[in-house]
Amino acid sequence: MEPEELIQIAREVKDNAYQPYSEYAVGATLLTEDGTVFKGVNIENITYDMCSHAERTAVKSAIANGKRSFKCLAISTEAEDGAPPCGTCRQYLAEFCEDSFTIYSDTGDESYEKYTLGEIFPHAFRPQNVEEATE
């Protein structure tokens, strides 16, 4: 699936976001290695600390459906020039994805920014860091 298709799906699903407090809708499309697409949106809660970002919603959906190998992620936000995942979402992605994992950020003008997880989150703390420390 092409990045443009993934971004279009993220744009469409963004309309389903529940964001009454921030009024900042985010849609995400996660593509697994086997070609399955999972969608996510941000879901807010009045307490804020219980909110779920679109990227994590998509990953949680994939995991709930037995998927653990991810190819790329596309994000569409309210920002006119696009926005990469927040730090918490980067850490969440690092739990399951390698540095080469690709992220596409919709810039709203029929183009997109392309990042790898390693570029936007170098030296991520990963499960193997804990394994190494306990050996």
Question: Catalytic residues, which ones?
Answer: 55
Structure tokens at 93: 């992605």
Q: Can you tell me whether residue 52 is helix, strand or coil?
A: strand
CA–CA gap between residue 12 and residue 125 (Å, rounded): 32
* Contact assessment for residue 36 and residue 43, using Cβ atoms and an 8 Å cutoff: no
Phi-psi region of 123 (alpha: psi -120 to 50; beta: other; left: phi over 0): left
